[in-house]
Structure 1
Amino acid sequence: MRKIIALDADGVLLDYHAAYRHAWEKAFGVLPELRDSEAYWPIDRWDVQKLSGAELASFRACFDEEYWANIPPISGAVAACQDLSDAGYELVCVSAIESQFETTRLKNLQNCGFPITRVVATANSSDDGISPKAQALQVLNPLAFVDDFAPYLLGIPGHIHKALILREPNGSPNVGENLALADSRHADLMAFSYWWIVQANN
């Protein structure tokens, strides 16, 4: 029986904040300054303005193959995954990303040094409010799933341990009733990895 742990990418494995900042620079020629280091969403973290129309289209165009291939890892995430891998777990990334970038995301993770050999792409929303990752996780049937966005835990089968990475608190969706969706909460992936391995050995 395979011991699988499913992991979200952005905010768990990869530093989406940093990548967003450089996408803004690519689009507009200005590297945004930090506005709030505790902001959950990148638009609040960096000194940028909300976009619309042609400017928004120009920015979105920067989220291309090159963008998804070069997102840096979150500090400690590679080591955390290596610890889980060394403990005998198969790691699979389950990410709300367009399917055309699934292979690119895998190459990005592997180039960062993550011991991950598979990425499963899912939608980023659903009509019924259930996690768009729920169906993929039901098929994958991991022991645990780790995400940093509490609403993505809704509707995941009860036998799968749902771990929530809390990270930056300002504007976070990981509050109130959403917290009850998680079976455990952790500051980052390293904290989860240590906790999970200790639990498994007790």
Structure 2
Amino acid sequence: MERLRTPGFGRALLWGSALVLIAGVVAFITVSLGNNDSSPPAADRGTVPSGYASEDLPGVDTQTTPKESDVPKAAREAAGAFVLAAVGREDLAKGWTLADKDLRASCACTREEWLTGNIPVQYFPTKGLKGAAFSVDEVTPGHVVLQVLLTPGKNKEGLGATEFYIGLRQRQKNGPWLVDYWAPVNVVAVPAAPGGGGADG
């Protein structure tokens, strides 16, 4: 997807939450950083993924910086689960259930084809993941865009901490949060997915 410059969005918050992996359960846990004024902010890139233009969201105050507390718990949990299941290729079947119809459409694949791992989700090794953190790019009703910083464990490719965008949608009130976008913030060289399954990032 092409990323569009959108005034008021793309102002990343401080990295202030951790992705904790305990006994296979994924949850984003908010961590207090104390005084925000003394904490180094994440870089302001001024970009958001295509389809997230503020002019398409009437009534939204684009000058209001979203807070971590604005992100619904269910959206954070869906994001964390998707990172392991689809991004890390640990459970592609579960990744399919967490994929929004727009992401499935960009794949133009059946569930069986998705399960091969050749999907429009950039692969990143999550086994042995040292940690992850997120900042909030955008929050509107039924729509969330986060930046996720993944720090891998020791790996033969020599990968370091890498940032990604993840977008989530809630199509119906009280419905599930599903992932409709995943891509690196910057162009990065990452390994091919295990088993030869590629990724169109």
Tell me if both proteins adopt one fold, taking TM over 0.5 as the criterion: no
Instruction: Compare relative contact order (CA 8 Å, sep 6+) and give the higher one, 1 or 2.
Output: 1
Smaller-chain TM-score bracket: under 0.3
Q: Could you say which structure has the higher strand fraction?
A: 2
Q: Could you say which structure has the higher helix fraction?
A: 1
- Scaled by the length of structure 1, what TM-score is found? 0.26
